[in-house]
């Protein structure tokens, strides 16, 4: 079977990572959640700054001190920031509210995109994010773009957060999703955009299994 690169992009909380993880397991591919990398940089910045204001110049200077790696543990894939497991911390609202701002800084994007490209050197990888099919791997053999209404996405994310004990209201989750979509789609550097050759899947009325099946059918027609 030929090893390919699979790019999964789309709006916040469309289930990209859930379905990408399932596909990676089925194909024995590496899975990379690039959103977790932007979240880890955001968490790092927040730890460095006592105030809410972000000093972009200082952030750029400190990028060489940011070391991110993934490990597959018994609770699924874990992300480490300078050797410390931050998998749960990067999902907190504090990070949700600032991540799109940090992700709009060109130096941050260059720093992470270079690492993402090197992770895909051996191919056999499925990566999810916002700019995978357009910027990180424009040459990917298989590209998907997931969409759904903001309300449905917020409902799913809210439920997921409640299960983890995060008591944020539905309205707050919806507001954050809408704000991030806007910021991600309108930033000047590598905005969220469907690649011309990506297959768009509207997931509002589909279960994860149905999305998985659609994507696997396409992938299997290529590999
Ligand atoms: O899981 P969710 O869809 O809520 O978001 P995520 O994939 O964890 O991404 C968090 C944020 O990181 C996004 O809202 C973007 O601002 C940024 N991001 C990005 O700019 N480029 C990527 N390739 C991935 C994420």
Q: How confident is the model at residue 125 (pLDDT cuts 50, 70, 90)?
A: very high
- The verdict on the CB of residue 41 being under 6 Å from ligand 1 is no
Range with lowest mean pLDDT among 4-8, 54-58, 116-120, 148-152: 54-58
Q: What is the pLDDT of residue 78?
A: 97
Q: What is the pLDDT of residue 75?
A: 87
Q: How many angstroms does the Cα of residue 10 sit away from the middle of ligand 1?
A: 9
CB count in 10 Å sphere of residue 136: 27
Please, which residues bridge with residue 201 across strands? 146
Nearest atom in ligand 1 to 9's CA: 23
Task: Please enumerate in sequence order all residues whose Cβ is within 8 A of that of 112, keeping only pairs 6 or more positions apart, or say none.
Answer: 34, 37, 38, 41
Q: What is the pLDDT of residue 1?
A: 84
Q: What is the pLDDT of residues 14-58, one digit of tens each?
A: 999 999 999 999 999 999 999 999 999 999 999 988 777 888 999
Q: Are 124 and 179 in contact (CB under 8 A)?
A: no
Strands 5-10, 142-147: pairing is parallel
Give the global pTM: 0.97
Report the distance separating Cα 194 and Cα 147, nearest Å: 10
Nearest CA to ligand 1 atom 25: 35
Domain limits, the chain: 5-210
Q: How many angstroms does the Cα of residue 220 sit away from the middle of ligand 1?
A: 27
Q: What is the pLDDT of residue 51?
A: 76
Q: Label residue 62 exposed, middle or buried (CB < 10 Å: 0-12, 13-18, 19+).
A: middle
Q: What is the pLDDT of residue 12?
A: 96
What average pLDDT does the segment 72-90 reach? 95
Q: How confident is the model at residue 85 (pLDDT cuts 50, 70, 90)?
A: very high
Which superfamily does CATH assign the domain made up of 5-210 to? P-loop containing nucleotide triphosphate hydrolases (3.40.50.300)
Closest C-alpha among 206, 128, 192, 208 to residue 160: 208
- The verdict on the CB of residue 34 being under 6 Å from ligand 1 is yes
């Amino acid at each position: 079977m030929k090893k390919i690169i699979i790019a999964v992009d789309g709006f916040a909380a469309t289930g990209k990572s859930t379905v990408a993880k399932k596909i990676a397991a089925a194909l024995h591919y590496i899975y990379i959640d690039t959103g977790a990398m932007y979240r880890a940089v955001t968490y790092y910045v927040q730890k460095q700054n006592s105030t809410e204001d972000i000093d972009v110049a200082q952030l750029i200077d400190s990028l060489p001190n940011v070391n991110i790696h993934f490990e597959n543990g018994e609770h699924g894939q874990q992300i480490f920031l300078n050797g410390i497991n931050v998998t749960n911390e990067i999902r907190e609202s504090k990070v949700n509210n600032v991540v799109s701002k940090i992700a709009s800084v060109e130096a941050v994007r260059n720093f992470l995109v270079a690492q993402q490209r090197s992770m895909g050197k051996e191919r056999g990888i499925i990566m999810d994010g916002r700019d995978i099919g357009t910027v990180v791997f424009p040459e990917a053999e298989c590209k998907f773009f997931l969409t759904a209404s903001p309300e449905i996405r917020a409902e799913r994310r809210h439920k997921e957060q409640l299960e983890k004990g995060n008591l944020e209201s539905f309205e707050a989750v919806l507001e954050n999703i809408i704000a991030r979509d806007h910021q991600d789609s309108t930033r000047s550097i590598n905005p969220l955009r469907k690649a011309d050759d990506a297959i768009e899947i509207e997931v509002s009325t589909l279960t994860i299994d149905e999305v998985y099946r659609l994507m696997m059918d396409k992938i299997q027609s290529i590999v």
